[in-house]
Chains A and B, each alone.
Chain A
């Protein structure tokens, strides 16, 4: 029985707009857009190549958002506050991680200071080190691990210094403190690395996917595909069409594969181990979890480690895919990550991934209708706000962590 007898939920349920009509209207609009999309592909107003590129890009952004969202989602549900410094932890982690990759690759050949600062104030450029997945696979692998570890360490350090002493403070004030952390991280990056954009990786290896004489093929480039010089051919074909539909890069594929592997690993970790169970218990009710003897501080540490490393790896892969980074990239991603987490339902890992993909697709597919790319992010934010208003529990209601 409740010791105090009060079960009044924190938020008055009457505020939760449980209006299924609104959800139906949403679905209706979505359906209309889908019909319009298919129609414009049919009429040729929207070339299939363009559509496929949008979808591919959307999935890549989405998976990165989802992977970065895992950490945000976990700290949100277990520690109970929206961590605004999450994006800047990603930035700081990525800068540190790339510095370590530069040192690994260029040590001895280039000036130490130049490597450490990714070429600030000197003449070290990405092309001097030539980092890409196929050219320097070990460096990239090292970068993934190092960035994950460094970001996890950074998250732990921040928790120790800032958030741990604030465990008993109201969640809104912790949110404000996290804004302070965000500022410190972001502008320390500026202080050391300067505000200009840094280019870190060279252009990745590409491949084109399409049809050659009706047979689905993969080729090294669009031209080679059309010329029939394919790397891989599928045994069956339809029709006699020859066209290149989609260009992919090795870094994009790496991002997708790594993210999926990490998600599966995370799933197993949280489902099969005691840690996962403890996390769920803490997200449900921290007092109760403590009373049951769950070592809450240890669980919190693991939360930061897991969340931090996922975030760091996501940041590293995004930078690798883009080839460049600036001090604002994590902050610019943050609201999109929030959107993904909220859409999926705070505390749900699958939610974060699905939410991420939906948000990612939104930012690319909305370009079909939008007059310019600047408006894509606002559209994603509008969707986030609408979700909060109509279905604040997200798509995957309730099930916290895992």
Chain B
């Protein structure tokens, strides 16, 4: 083989190195989105706080949706478990956290009391509660056909939502302790995880060097005109992105292991997997429970910083959002899921609103007519603006329509999503390519037994069959 050929080979190997290319893909996509939003913000005349805020918001939402997407990817992409109860598991996580951390004797009479536990304990309880809810569903329901599992999980999420909105669970007393979900008006989330970040900036946790550090950070941001509240939000987002990184590695490692290999086999053919000696029920249950715990975590990080959560956050719409994230990205690919979250948040979720704001800022849009008939009627008079105003007025509804269209188009045109075609090696070792292409120490074919070059050659032959 010629020298040039070798170089080409090594470049190709480099690009095929999935970790490397994946990271750059995610970073590249995020940068592109940032540039787009900065341009939009610029055209809308945002100041530096506004710009940073917009980017922070996009990043934060991307991170929490990606985290929930990774959990669903573990369920659906790896194990083939059709979970349509995502919103329910998220609700269980958030509410458990909220009830655990609410003070025992609230200051206002309207607030529901809780257990008064510290925030980290509350977060842990939330994750465990979501996982436990997963276990309760998993034990009986994972025996069912996939479409029945879908109906069971959908039913469960409605049961959770309706029960949480009931007065009965709104405030109740068990063994002398009063707590509750707050019924229809929701629950104040005292156990706001972003509070830890705020404390760092406000008090430095009472530790000298830390408060010096936080002061220095605030000062340097202030020097470019960024306010404290923006810095706090930004820092919390950084923390959430860090947790996303952790979850990503976690799910990736789960997939690339004997555990993940068995899940992959179950997704393809459960009976065969059983016939080969795998306790598929147990494996599915483990996968389901882990995923539900992660859903709880994602929901806590997301809702926690809002200070209040209400039952109608957890409608079927939320579940569909997470599904769209995974389906855009491609079931089975973690990188795809993160990309899917980025595209979902920036284009489908936030995009239309920004677009409206730009148009509103550029053109003189009249007040929206009261009905579509009126709006269409004015087209006859040669005026398109009322229709546009009506569309902008009902933008939220049209966004859902758009989501439905996207969902159908992906399933029709590209069911594997952005990256679902790319398979990851289901092993702690990279067993997807011969060692010579990898250049690491994992065992390949025993020396002298078969020429790896010949091996790849025949592999292509086999593919042609």
A and B bind: yes
CB contacts under 8 Å to B, within A340-364, are 342
B contacts, CB < 8 Å to A:
82, 140-141, 143-148, 150-152, 154-156, 158-159, 162-163, 165-168, 270-271, 274, 316, 320, 323, 327, 369-374, 377, 394, 397-401, 403-408, 411-412, 415
Q: Which residue of A172, A179, A385 is within 8 Å of B147 (Cβ)?
A: A172
Chain B nearest Cβ from A314, distance in angstroms: 20
Q: What are 27 A-B contacts defined by CB distance under 8 Å? A: A12-B274, A113-B374, A117-B373, A162-B408, A172-B82, A172-B150, A174-B411, A176-B411, A177-B408, A182-B404, A183-B320, A183-B403, A184-B408, A188-B397, A190-B397, A190-B400, A191-B397, A195-B397, A338-B151, A342-B148, A342-B151, A372-B167, A374-B166, A377-B158, A385-B152, A388-B148, A388-B152
Which residues of A are found within 8 Å of B152, using beta-carbon distances? 385, 388-389
Main secondary structure of the interface of A (DSSP, over half): helix
Q: Which residues of A contact B146 (CB under 8 A)?
A: 172
User: Residue A320 at the B interface, CB < 8 A?
Assistant: no
The segment out of A163-171, A244-252, A289-297 that lies at the interface is A163-171
Q: Are A121 and B163 in contact (CB under 8 A)?
A: no
The smallest beta-carbon distance between A91 and chain B, in angstroms, is 13
Given the complex of chains A and B, what is the CA–CA distance between A15 and B163 in angstroms? 30
Inside 8 A of A15's CB, which chain B residues have their CB? 143-144
Q: Contact at A183–B400, with CB atoms within 8 Å?
A: yes
Compute the total of residue contacts between A and B using a CB distance below 8 Å. 160
CB of B157 to closest CB in A, whole Å: 10
Q: How far is the CB of A340 from chain B (nearest CB, A)?
A: 12
Flag if B145 contacts A11 (CB, 8 Å). yes
Flag if A82 contacts B401 (CB, 8 Å): no
Contacts of A179 in B (CB 8 A): 320, 323, 404, 407
Flag whether A142 is at the interface (Cβ < 8 A): no
Q: Which residue, A166, A187, A331, has most C-beta atoms of chain B within 10 A?
A: A187
Q: How far is the CB of A354 from chain B (nearest CB, A)?
A: 19
In the complex, are the beta carbons of B404 and A181 less than 8 A apart?
yes
Question: Which one of A112, A187, A371, A372 lies within 8 Å of B404 (CB-CB)?
Answer: A187
Shortest B59–chain A CB gap in Å is 26
What is the bound-complex CA distance between A12 and B316, given in angstroms? 30
Are B407 and A180 closer than 8 Å at their CB atoms? yes
Instruction: Check A374–B162 contact: CB distance below 8 A.
Output: yes
| Per-residue B-contact encoding for A1-44, CB less than 8 Å = 1, 0 else | 00000001011100111000000000000000000000000000
Residues of A within 8 A of B (CB): 8, 10-12, 15-17, 81-82, 112-114, 116-117, 120-122, 162, 165-166, 169, 171-177, 179-184, 186-188, 190-192, 194-195, 331, 335, 338-339, 342, 371-372, 374-375, 377-378, 381-382, 384-385, 388-389, 392
> Contact between A375 and B372 (Cβ–Cβ < 8 Å)?
no
- The distance in angstroms between the C-alpha atoms of A112 and B373, with both chains bound, is 9
Complex Cα distance A308/B94, Å? Answer: 39
Tell me which residues across on chain B come within 8 A of A180, comparing CB atoms: 403-408, 411
Residue contact B166 to A375, C-beta cutoff 8 Å: yes
Is the beta-carbon distance between A113 and B371 smaller than 8 angstroms? yes
Interfacial chain A residues near B151, Cβ < 8 Å: 82, 338, 342, 384, 388
A377: chain B residues at CB < 8 Å are: 158, 162
Q: How far is the CB of A11 from chain B (nearest CB, A)?
A: 5
A392 near B145 with CB under 8 A, answer yes
Question: Per a CB cutoff under 8 Å, which of B141, B397, B400, B408 touches A389?
Answer: B141
A381→B152 CA distance, assembly (Å): 9
- Please measure, in the bound complex, the distance between the C-alpha atom of A380 and the C-alpha atom of B207, giving whole angstroms: 55
The answer to whether B397 and A374 touch across the interface, beta carbons within 8 angstroms, is no
Q: Are B371 and A187 in touch, CB under 8 angstroms?
A: no
A360 nearest CB across to chain B (Å): 17
> Chain A contacts of B167 at CB under 8 A?
371-372, 374
**Given A179-B323, A342-B151, A378-B159, are A372 and B408 neighbors across the interface (CB < 8 Å)?**
no
